[in-house]
Amino acid sequence: MRVALVHAMFDLVGGAENLTLNIYRALRELGHEVDLYAAHVDERAWKILTDGAAEAPRPIIIGEPVVNRLVPIALTLRTLLAMPYLGKRLERLKPDYDLIIDTYANVPVPWTDASYVHSPVRGLLGFLSRHRRLQLHERLYYGLVEWMAKRLADSTRPVMTNSSWMAEYVRRTYGSQRVYVVHPPVNVEELSSIGGDRGRIVLTVSRIALEKMVAEIPKVARLVPEAEFYLVGSTSDYSERTLKVIESEAEGLSNFHLETNVPRRRILELMSQASIYLNPPLRAEPFGIAIAEAAAAGLVPVVYRDGGGWTDIASRVDQGLGYTSVEEAAHIIRSLLDDSVRLKELSLKARELAKGFSYEKFKERLNEVIRELARVA
């Protein structure tokens, strides 16, 4: 089959971008012809994304509508504004493709045969409001985003998503009935070989953004002074405010370390030294590729007791690894570090569970879904 993959904005280095490249790779290995389309590509982000890749496609750039020049850093709004623009172009190309799949808008748009929804943007205002107090301009911005998402969404379009928890959320948010869970892949082969002497180190890997709630990590570190906390993540033009908040929260802390835009080998080095992976507090993670990677490397995942990172990963390792407050996260971490036998047992369970998120498992599941989509397209 001929497949068009659409990822509107390659402006960030994150799970959505890596998933798109893995879908591209898997479809090619399954014998399909694949073209990758984008409205915009940030060259710095693209270089990081494709560093060391054996086969790195170059997206076909369609461009953005003129109105996007008015909102250069409002990435979610830029994406939604670009979708009708992309849709008009791809509607004309539809006879050339058997399937058109969007992997970025987080809205099931009508001109696709399927959309991969990582986390619905239609529910973004409510989600953020539950976790922090929004300023007036933020409420107006996310209100506009929700209005646009509602106008764009087509509940009849099939959806792929990243966890069983998110599948239910997508059904409630968009009314979608055909929802397929396709877990993002983890490089189990690379990560399963990681070992060594693990210390009292707690690792967090995340894009540095307010919505990722990473500014909560120093609060946990302050409550567990006997452990070293490392927050590692990529930054973008949108990270400045988050970095200032982190700096403020970490003032006076000697056991909190922030490392940004580090190479992959540094992340692997920290994974070989850390015993625990802490997902940012008070945030329901849709899936959490970093959680799955950490589990594959033998780190014990401690996550917020909600979301796909909990239902599909951490809870399947042990029901005691979920928390609902900064204080509870600190208590769980301390109890794990003080019980080396339990920590080792859970490390082995985490590695075993993560085998289900291998690239080969991902490719098998993607093949099943693509065949089903082609059958009913």
Residue at 339: amino acid letter? D
333 lies in the same domain as 371: no
127 lies in the same domain as 201: no
Minimal CA–CA distance to 337: which of 196, 198, 200? Answer: 200
Q: What is the domain range of residue 317?
A: 188-355
Res 274 pLDDT > 90: yes
Contact 7, 14 (CB under 8 A): no
312 lies in the same domain as 251: yes
- Average pLDDT of the chain is 94
Res 129 pLDDT > 80: no
Residue at 105: amino acid letter? A
pLDDT band at 54 (very low <50, low <70, confident <90, very high): low
Task: Tell me whether residue 168 is exposed, middle or buried, using C-beta atoms within 10 angstroms of its C-beta: 0 to 12, 13 to 18, 19 or more.
Answer: middle
Query: What number is the average pLDDT over the span 43-60?
Result: 84
Of residues 135 and 369, more confidence is placed in 369
202 lies in the same domain as 167: no
Query: What number is the average pLDDT over the span 276-300?
Result: 93
Q: For the chain, what percent of residues have pLDDT higher than 90?
A: 81
47 lies in the same domain as 148: yes
Residue 118: predicted pLDDT: 96
Res 125 pLDDT > 90: no
pTM of the model as a whole? 0.89
Query: What number is the average pLDDT over the span 90-103?
Result: 96
Residue 356: predicted pLDDT: 97
Residue 52: predicted pLDDT: 62
120 lies in the same domain as 238: no
Residue 283: predicted pLDDT: 77
CATH number at residue 207: 3.40.50.2000
86 lies in the same domain as 150: yes
Res 93 pLDDT > 80: yes
Q: What is the signed CA dihedral for 120, 88, 8, 139, rounded to 10 degrees?
A: -50
290 lies in the same domain as 153: no
Into how many domains does the chain fold? 2
175 lies in the same domain as 317: no
249 lies in the same domain as 330: yes
192 lies in the same domain as 289: yes
Q: First and final CA of the chain: distance in angstroms?
A: 12
279 lies in the same domain as 332: yes
